[in-house]
Structures are given as structure tokens and as C-alpha cells.
Amino acid sequence: MANDQDIGKDIRLLLRGCDRASLAVNLNKDQDQNQSAYVALVLVAFDMKSHPILFISNLAEHTKAVKENPVCSLLLDGTTGRRDPLTGARVTLQGEIEFLDGIEAEQAKTRYISRHNSARMYQDFPDFNVVRFNPTRAHLVAGFGKIHWITWADILINENVSELTLAETDIVTHMNEDHADVLNLIANKLLKQKGVGWQITGVDPDGCDLQLEGQMIRYPFESLVYTADDARKEFVAAAKLARSA
């Protein structure tokens, strides 16, 4: 039987593979006299430690709601492409929204925009907010009988990620400019995706995101990475594996 740390890792990998989520909030009295629940579709990115990152407008009903009551839930769905979606994995996070500022906000916005290029058109709008979802626990449903409540501490990356954070831009640029052939091999041979021109949009301890013409795929590393050298070793290993496939 899997322990909480193993289940937590599965949840973390599921989260990082999602680019959108359903955000459930409680409307305030100005929005709804009954103060009922409200669910919104949001695009999502993740920080190095795996916290969900959102970029939300003050005009949105869900933004108005979380400014008054930050307690909310986030549903992330990993069932895409399954003939029977209920056999696939999905996870509900419970926690609170935190509005970011300063260097934290800039770092989070950079990761978000790298993942969601369409956000560049409104990245400097003053009414948009960079927020981090801070979960307390997660509820995983991964098919019949595979149901678990897990604390966020069993999911979160706890190690120091500052070195990888500082190196990420250089890693992404280097791989995209100097090793485009390797990225195409990873996408075509290891991830079974078609097309040429795959580009990395982000690197984190668990793996990297690749995109081509709006399609996002995820390559998971064999081991957790915390430095540029760790990442280099993973890409070298991936290239060897792809060439032999």
C-alpha cells in the first residue's frame, strides 16, 4: 500500500501537468444575497515548490470574493483523453488565496506568463493580481477505491529551490536555442507527440513543460532537481533514452 509521501508525489505530478482548474469561492453579500458558492474556470501555473499560481482581474467575480474571504477550493482534472473520465485522477485542493507583491509576485508572474503566453497582453494591466493558492490538504480521486485525503505537507517540495529558481531562465534559453533537437526527440520519442519545434517554457524540481502551437505536454524527470547541474544530467539522460527509443 502506498504511503502518504508516495501519494503526495502522485498528486504533485498530477497538479504540474494541469494548465487549467476550477476555482470554487463563496460570493460576498454584494455579489449574492444568499452568499452562495461560485465556480470559475482559471488558468494555472505552479511555483517551484508546487503551489498553484493564478493571475486574476479585479473585475472577476471570483477575485471580488476571495478579497473578502480567501478560503476556497481548486479542482484540477487529470482525466483528459480517457474514454471513461471517472477512471482518471483528479484532485481537489482546499486552502486560501494569498495576494503576492514584490519579488515573489514578479517571479510568480514570470512562470505564469511563460506557461500562458496569452497573458502577455494584459501582464501590465494594473487591475490584475498575481495570487498564490496555499492549500492545507488535498482530496485525490484516482478511480474506484483510490480515494485519499492528504495534507499539503506530504505534497509540497520542502527542499531549498533558490538555486534552480535563479537558473531557470538560463536553462530554458540554453535548451531552446542550443538543443532544440533534443526537445523534439523527447516530445516525439518519449512522450509520443507529433510535430517539430517543441520549446521548453519552464523547469521545476519534478520536470519541465514543453509547448508547441498552444499544446502543452509534461516531461517528468527521473529524480528531483535543485540545481542547473541536476537539470543538465536529466536532459542528458533523456536525450540518450530518446535516441535509443
pLDDT tens series, the chain, 245 aa: 578 889 999 999 999 999 999 999 999 877 777 778 999 999 999 999 999 999 999 999 999 999 999 999 999 998 888 888 888 899 999 999 999 999 999 999 999 999 999 999 999 999 999 999 999 999 999 987 789 999 999 999 999 999 999 999 999 999 999 999 999 999 999 999 999 999 999 999 999 999 999 899 999 999 999 999 999 999 999 999 999 98
Residues 213 and 112 reside in one and the same domain: no
Query: Max alpha carbon distance in the chain (Å)?
Result: 62
Q: Domain range holding 195? A: 162-244
Residues 51 and 120 reside in one and the same domain: yes
pLDDT of residue 189: 96
Name the β-bridge partners of 55: 130
Number of domain units in the chain: 2
Residues 176 and 114 reside in one and the same domain: no
Residues 174 and 217 reside in one and the same domain: yes
pLDDT of residue 149: 96
- Rounded to whole angstroms, the Cα distance separating 105 from 74 reads 20
Which of 154, 171, 190 is a domain's end point?
154
Residues 173 and 146 reside in one and the same domain: no
pLDDT of residue 92: 98
Can you give the pTM of this predicted structure?
Answer: 0.93
Residues 44 and 109 reside in one and the same domain: yes
- Rounded to whole angstroms, the Cα distance separating 245 from 242 reads 5
- Rounded to whole angstroms, the Cα distance separating 245 from 145 reads 35
Residues 179 and 218 reside in one and the same domain: yes
| CATH number for position 15 | 2.30.110.10
Name the β-bridge partners of 131: 54, 99
Residues 207 and 172 reside in one and the same domain: yes
Pairing of strands 199-204, 71-77: unpaired
Residue 137, amino acid: R
Which of 154, 171, 203 is a domain's end point?
154
Residues 56 and 14 reside in one and the same domain: yes
Residues 29 and 149 reside in one and the same domain: yes
Which of 127, 154, 181 is a domain's end point?
154
For residue 112, which phi and psi values (nearest 5 degrees)?
Answer: -65, -50
